[in-house]
Amino acid sequence: MKCTNCGADFASDQLKCPYCGRVNEHALKLAKELQTYDKAYEEKRDELLETGTGQVLRHLTFGMGIVFLVILCVAFGCVAFYQYRYSDHSTYEVTGARLTGNKEKIGKYLEDKQYIRAYLLASATDPTGEYFRYYPEYAADLSDIYSYSLILVGVLHSMESMDEGDNYAPLLDTDVITMQIFYGSGNDSPIKEDLIREVDGYLKNYYRLTDEEIEDLKESASGGQFTLEGIADIEDVTKRRMEAYFEK
Amino acid sequence: MKNKTNTKYYILIVVFTVIFFLCMAFCFTRFRTLSRDYKIRSLSYRMEEIELEEKMYGPSHTFSSLYFSNNYEEEFDEYWEFCDAYLAYVRGRFSEEKTPYTEVLQDYLDTAPGGEREKAVEGYLEELERP
């Protein structure tokens, strides 16, 4: 373009004439307009950017929420299913044909004198635990077998330690309490008689109690104090007797 | 105002992520516990356990294995047969009258499948018949 002052040629976007220094009004106007546009653009851009980010974040939040919720539902569902399928409660076989089958098996085991096996089957399949309410016809015998099983396991462990040359495991206060519960249950079935014969045998021939002392123990089942040789520390007395007998 | 809206989403994302991982950790531990319980209760596992304990401690330990692991099922019949003989030996050992118990041991030996258990019962019988 030509300068309005000196007539020299110069580029139209230059703000001043390079020869005479006259201000290019046209370029100045354009520059101001451009500055205004730039400012407006920057303001708009920030606003657009913020709005866009907000939209992305909102979608991301909802998307994540839904994805997490679905995954959690599946995970909780799997856990709940396995909990129901494999928990202790679902293993109880106490309904319909299974209950009848269990009763038949318990009857058969008791007949074959597999008392402990009958007790294990009943306790594992009865949600009432040691009350055996699902097997009322065997409940009294099974309760006695439970006490008997504790006595038997004690004898077996003690016998094992004796065979291995360790100290003799004498009759403990806790064993006496178990025996008092066993003797005092009030059940007089043939199974109980059989079990009593066996426990009497352990007391007499293993723990070395006399017949009179065994009778005292049975009588103490109704709440009396049981002593040996007039001493309450039965552990010491039985240990001494067992050592004297078995070492001989 | 708009900045506050975006912050809300950031907080939500963090909260969702934390809750998600906490819930997944719970599910994982619960599932692991359940699967272990199931494995321990399975017949094959209990059978293996009995066989291992029999090898480690001898046949006389079989009764304890059956009792403490609640192994009453038919799959354990052969072990219960041995236990009947073992308990007869224990009863006979602490009884004046040995004959009923030696008969039980002899009955077991008549149909015994052999192996360690048969050898053990032979030993029990010998001990009870000893004068």
ipTM: 0.81
What is the pLDDT at residue A161?
80
Q: Which residues of A28-49 are buried (b: 16+ CB within 10 A; e: fewer)?
A: eeeeeeeeeeeeeeeeeeeeee
pLDDT band at residue A149 under the 50/70/90 scheme: very high
Q: How many Cβ atoms sit within 10 Å of the Cβ of residue A199? A: 21
Reported as a single tens digit per residue, the pLDDT across A2-23 is 888 888 888 888 888 888 888 8
pLDDT at A53 over 80: yes
Q: What is the DSSP secondary-structure string of A21-71?
A: --B-HHHHHHHHHHHHHHHHHHHHHHHHHHHHHHHHHHHHHHHHHHHHHHH
The three-state secondary structure class of B130 is coil
**Residue B34 to residue A60, Cβ atoms within 8 A:** no
A73 vs A68: CA distance, rounded Å: 8
pLDDT at A77 over 70: yes
pLDDT at B1 over 70: no
- The stretch B9-23 carries a mean pLDDT of 92
pLDDT at A87 over 80: no
**Length of chain B as a residue count:** 131
A76 vs A233: CA distance, rounded Å: 56
Q: A189: closest CA among A105, A129, A123, A118?
A: A118
Q: What distances in angstroms separate CA B51 from CA B61, B63, B124, one per listed residue?
A: 10, 12, 21
* Positive or negative torsion for Cα A184, A189, A195, A199: positive
**Residue A82 to residue B10, Cβ atoms within 8 A:** no
**Residue A65 to residue B63, Cβ atoms within 8 A:** no
**Length of chain A as a residue count:** 248
**Which of A43, A68, A148 to mutate to test binding with chain B, by most B CBs within 10 Å of its CB?**
A68
**Residue B16 to residue A64, Cβ atoms within 8 A:** yes
Q: Give me the phi and psi of A37, to 5 degrees please.
A: -60, -45
| pLDDT > 70 in chain B, percent | 97
A15 and B CB contact within 8 Å: no
Q: Which domain holds residue A220?
A: 138-247
pTM of the prediction?
A: 0.75
What is the pLDDT at residue A99?
87
- For residue A194, what is the nearest residue in chain B, using CA coordinates? B91
Residue A128 lies in a domain: no
Strand partners, A228: A231
How many distinct structural domains can be found in chain A?
1
Burial of B4 (0-12, 13-18, 19+ CB in 10 A): exposed
**Residue A86 to residue B94, Cβ atoms within 8 A:** no
What is the pLDDT at residue A118?
95
Burial of A88 (0-12, 13-18, 19+ CB in 10 A): exposed
**Residue B31 to residue A82, Cβ atoms within 8 A:** yes
pLDDT at A108 over 90: yes
B55 and A CB contact within 8 Å: no
Sequence spans of domains, chain B: 1-41, 43-131
Q: How many Cβ atoms sit within 10 Å of the Cβ of residue B96? A: 8
Q: Where is pLDDT greater, at A92 or A85?
A: A85
Residue A89 lies in a domain: no
Residues of B in contact with A149 (CB under 8 A): 67
B107 and A CB contact within 8 Å: no
Instruction: Provide the number of CB pairs (under 8 Å) joining chain A to chain B.
Output: 100
| DSSP classification of residue A146 | H
Reported as a single tens digit per residue, the pLDDT across A202-238 is 999 888 999 999 998 998 887 778 888 888 788 888 8
Residue A161 lies in a domain: yes
**Residue B70 to residue A149, Cβ atoms within 8 A:** no
- The stretch A15-36 carries a mean pLDDT of 86
Q: In this structure, are residues A221 and A184 in contact, taking their beta carbons and an 8 Å threshold?
A: yes
